[in-house]
Chains A and B, each alone.
Chain A
Amino acid sequence: MVPKILTVLFAFCLAFHASAQVPKNFEYGPRPPLSVFDPTGFLNPQLAKSISDPLTKIYQKEKIDVLVVVLTDLAGAPPEHVAKRFAQAWCTANIHAVVLHVPGRKDSPWIVPAGKLLEILNPKEVLKSLEEAQRRAAKEVTEPDKVKAAATEAADMLRYWTSNLINHSEQVQTERSQWIQKATEKARFRKMGLLLLAASTIPLVLGASMLILFLKNRGPRSFPSRDLQPRLGAPYSGGNFAVVKIGAPDL
């Protein structure tokens, strides 16, 4: 029985220890002034500042937030989960990333982007960019350099996406304006076409009426017959007085 209790106690302690490393209700408190959170002191202060200063400038100018977090252990949690917890607690920009490093881990550092703008991007493109950025950062020799490179790569990646989004947005605006212009022009041409059609109908109708009248009037004519009253015993004609002097021809 005692060994059982001890096993349970040991497991509980391990879990507690692990849970102490996982940020629940953000036990790390408010975000530090620097963009680098390194409670373990893995990065020397100079290096930490050299990483943090450019990231701070980028955030001030472009509202792109990159946070570097160095932890000793993730306690079995996936890196993305841990990184996102930090992002949720400390990042408010529309696009941000957490560069998470656990010293000694060969697959570290991890770059985890997040933010509302990420939802607009193509997931395949995001994954491809992340893999390339992490591969480039991993080429550095020392771990601190890898962290610095990963931070730089993360910042560049987010800036690239943001500018692409802006360009895309402008392109969409332009295309939309062009579409509206085309639609307006089409509507105008359609209106003109209808007016022309209406205007041309009048001469067409007139022309058709005249043609019908002309065709109607082309046929032979006949006068009504009447009872003939012969005069002076003449069988075919009673004579009349239609005579004029037309003069002599000049032959």
Chain B
Amino acid sequence: MFSDGPPLLPILDAVGIWKDADIRKIEAARGNVERRFPQIKWRICAVNLPAETSLPLFGFWLLNACPLNPEETPSDRSWTILLLIDIRSGQASITPGYAAESCLSDDEWQKVLNSMATYWQAGKTAKAVVRFFKSSRSELQTAWKRYKPRRSHR
């Protein structure tokens, strides 16, 4: 079931929506978040799926079926967060690996995805993804504080 998937590149623009400059902007934003949260690996895919395709299901299949890249380990894949944007349906979804599941809840991810909407609809698609990363960093920072080990006072 989980085989024969395409290589899972960091940024996959299957619909030709981004130029080189847009890709660089997105890479810079991604690098910013990865420096703060080096555990988490990010994958962004812009696709044009057939009608009635379930984006979460597609994301689930993509994350599991794509072979590991040469420098990627299974642990890396389980810490991966996949942002999937479907041009046809106008939807965006987040699929986290097993290890990254506990970082944010579905509601928190939906809040992050909604932050993209304004720029996306205005045609600033690269900026929308940059916005996504900024919002992710903020939410992850808040979530991390819940996990931060506290000093015990005796």
Please give the residue numbers on chain A whose beta carbons come within 8 Å of chain B beta carbons, in ascending order: 220-226, 228-230, 233-251
Contacts and interface: CB of A to CB of B under 8 A. Distances in A.
Given A234-B64, A242-B93, A243-B93, A250 B110 contact: no
Contact of A223 (B55, B59, B74, B144): B144
Nearest to A226: B102
A237 B92 contact: no
B102 A250 contact: no
The B interface, classified by DSSP as helix, strand, loop or mixed, is helix
Contact of B64 (A221, A224, A236, A245): A236
A241 B123 contact: no
A148 B72 CA distance: 126
B77 interface: yes
A233 B98 CA distance: 12
Contacts of B63: 236-237
B59 A239 contact: yes
A225 B96 CA distance: 14
Nearest to A242: B109
Contacts of B97: 236-237
A163 B135 CA distance: 90
B26 interface: no
A220 B102 CA distance: 18
A243 B114 CA distance: 9
A240 B64 contact: no
B111 to A, nearest CB: 9
